Amino acid sequence: MSLGRGARAMALRHAAQKVMTGSVNLAIRCSDGTKVHLKRVDRDEHRTILHLNSLPKAPENRTVPLIENIILDDDTIVIVMPSLKSFHQDPDFVGAKALVSAVHELMLGIDFMHKHNVAHQ
Protein backbone atom coordinates (compact mmCIF):
# COMPACT_ATOMS: atom_id res chain seq x y z
CA MET A 1 0.00 0.00 0.00
CA SER A 2 1.42 3.34 -1.04
CA LEU A 3 1.02 6.42 1.12
CA GLY A 4 -0.08 9.70 -0.41
CA ARG A 5 2.26 12.68 -0.15
CA GLY A 6 0.56 14.14 2.96
CA ALA A 7 0.30 10.79 4.73
CA ARG A 8 3.92 9.96 3.88
CA ALA A 9 5.13 13.29 5.27
CA MET A 10 3.09 12.74 8.47
CA ALA A 11 4.45 9.20 8.89
CA LEU A 12 8.04 10.41 8.34
CA ARG A 13 7.61 13.23 10.85
CA HIS A 14 6.08 10.88 13.44
CA ALA A 15 8.92 8.35 13.04
CA ALA A 16 11.58 11.07 13.06
CA GLN A 17 10.31 12.49 16.35
CA LYS A 18 11.06 9.14 18.00
CA VAL A 19 14.75 9.29 17.04
CA MET A 20 16.88 10.12 20.06
CA THR A 21 19.23 13.09 19.85
CA GLY A 22 22.79 12.00 19.06
CA SER A 23 21.91 8.37 18.42
CA VAL A 24 21.86 6.61 15.07
CA ASN A 25 18.80 4.46 14.48
CA LEU A 26 18.31 1.76 11.87
CA ALA A 27 15.16 2.10 9.76
CA ILE A 28 13.68 0.57 6.64
CA ARG A 29 12.61 2.80 3.75
CA CYS A 30 9.00 1.83 2.98
CA SER A 31 9.21 2.62 -0.75
CA ASP A 32 11.80 -0.07 -1.52
CA GLY A 33 12.77 -1.85 1.72
CA THR A 34 16.28 -0.37 1.77
CA LYS A 35 18.01 -0.18 5.17
CA VAL A 36 18.79 3.41 6.17
CA HIS A 37 20.02 5.15 9.30
CA LEU A 38 18.32 8.10 10.98
CA LYS A 39 20.21 10.59 13.11
CA ARG A 40 18.70 13.54 14.94
CA VAL A 41 20.99 16.58 14.71
CA ASP A 42 20.87 20.26 15.61
CA ARG A 43 21.20 23.06 13.05
CA ASP A 44 24.96 23.44 13.55
CA GLU A 45 25.71 19.76 12.93
CA HIS A 46 23.30 19.76 9.98
CA ARG A 47 25.13 22.74 8.45
CA THR A 48 28.45 20.89 8.82
CA ILE A 49 27.05 17.72 7.22
CA LEU A 50 25.63 19.73 4.31
CA HIS A 51 29.01 21.45 3.88
CA LEU A 52 30.90 18.13 3.77
CA ASN A 53 28.33 16.66 1.36
CA SER A 54 28.70 19.66 -0.95
CA LEU A 55 32.45 19.13 -1.42
CA PRO A 56 33.64 17.49 -4.63
CA LYS A 57 33.65 13.72 -4.66
CA ALA A 58 37.23 12.55 -4.21
CA PRO A 59 38.86 9.49 -2.65
CA GLU A 60 39.77 11.46 0.47
CA ASN A 61 36.15 12.57 0.99
CA ARG A 62 34.69 9.79 3.13
CA THR A 63 31.49 11.68 3.97
CA VAL A 64 28.38 9.53 4.20
CA PRO A 65 25.88 10.90 1.64
CA LEU A 66 22.54 12.32 2.73
CA ILE A 67 19.39 10.75 1.34
CA GLU A 68 16.90 13.10 2.97
CA ASN A 69 16.45 15.75 5.66
CA ILE A 70 13.37 15.79 7.89
CA ILE A 71 12.89 19.14 9.60
CA LEU A 72 11.12 18.71 12.94
CA ASP A 73 11.30 22.28 14.21
CA ASP A 74 13.54 25.36 14.07
CA ASP A 75 16.35 23.59 15.93
CA THR A 76 16.01 19.89 15.12
CA ILE A 77 16.51 17.92 11.92
CA VAL A 78 16.61 14.17 11.32
CA ILE A 79 19.01 13.17 8.57
CA VAL A 80 18.52 9.99 6.56
CA MET A 81 21.70 8.22 5.43
CA PRO A 82 22.38 4.91 3.70
CA SER A 83 23.06 2.02 6.01
CA LEU A 84 26.74 1.21 6.10
CA LYS A 85 28.56 -1.58 7.90
CA SER A 86 27.97 -1.43 11.63
CA PHE A 87 31.58 -0.68 12.56
CA HIS A 88 30.97 0.07 16.24
CA GLN A 89 29.10 -3.22 16.80
CA ASP A 90 31.24 -5.61 14.76
CA PRO A 91 34.55 -4.16 13.59
CA ASP A 92 35.70 -7.50 12.10
CA PHE A 93 39.40 -6.94 12.71
CA VAL A 94 41.41 -9.95 11.69
CA GLY A 95 44.93 -9.29 12.86
CA ALA A 96 46.94 -6.17 13.51
CA LYS A 97 47.08 -5.21 9.81
CA ALA A 98 43.29 -4.73 9.66
CA LEU A 99 43.35 -2.63 12.83
CA VAL A 100 46.18 -0.43 11.49
CA SER A 101 44.27 -0.02 8.22
CA ALA A 102 41.12 1.09 10.08
CA VAL A 103 43.04 3.61 12.19
CA HIS A 104 44.69 4.92 9.00
CA GLU A 105 41.25 5.42 7.39
CA LEU A 106 40.04 7.24 10.50
CA MET A 107 43.05 9.56 10.45
CA LEU A 108 42.52 10.32 6.74
CA GLY A 109 38.91 11.25 7.51
CA ILE A 110 39.96 13.56 10.34
CA ASP A 111 42.62 15.14 8.12
CA PHE A 112 40.01 15.75 5.41
CA MET A 113 37.68 17.46 7.91
CA HIS A 114 40.49 19.66 9.23
CA LYS A 115 41.50 20.70 5.71
CA HIS A 116 37.91 21.86 5.17
CA ASN A 117 37.75 23.79 8.46
CA VAL A 118 35.62 21.28 10.34
CA ALA A 119 36.50 20.54 13.96
CA HIS A 120 35.30 17.30 15.53
CA GLN A 121 34.08 16.60 19.05
**pLDDT tens-digit series, residues 21-72:** 567 778 888 888 888 888 888 888 899 889 988 988 888 888 888 998 888 8
| Ramachandran area for residue 68 (φ above 0: left; ψ -120 to 50: alpha; else beta) | beta
Rounded to two decimals, the pTM is 0.69
For position 98, what pLDDT does the model report? 81
Instruction: Answer whether residue 114 is part of any domain.
Output: no
CA 64 – CA 61 distance, rounded (Å): 9
CA 20 – CA 51 distance, rounded (Å): 23
Instruction: Answer whether residue 106 is part of any domain.
Output: no
Structural domain of residue 65, as residue ranges? 5-85
To the nearest whole number, what is the mean pLDDT of the chain?
79
Q: SS3 of 90, please?
A: coil
Q: What percent of the chain has pLDDT over 90?
A: 5
Strand order in the sheet with 76-82: 24-28, 35-42, 76-82, 68-71
Q: How many domains does the chain have?
A: 1
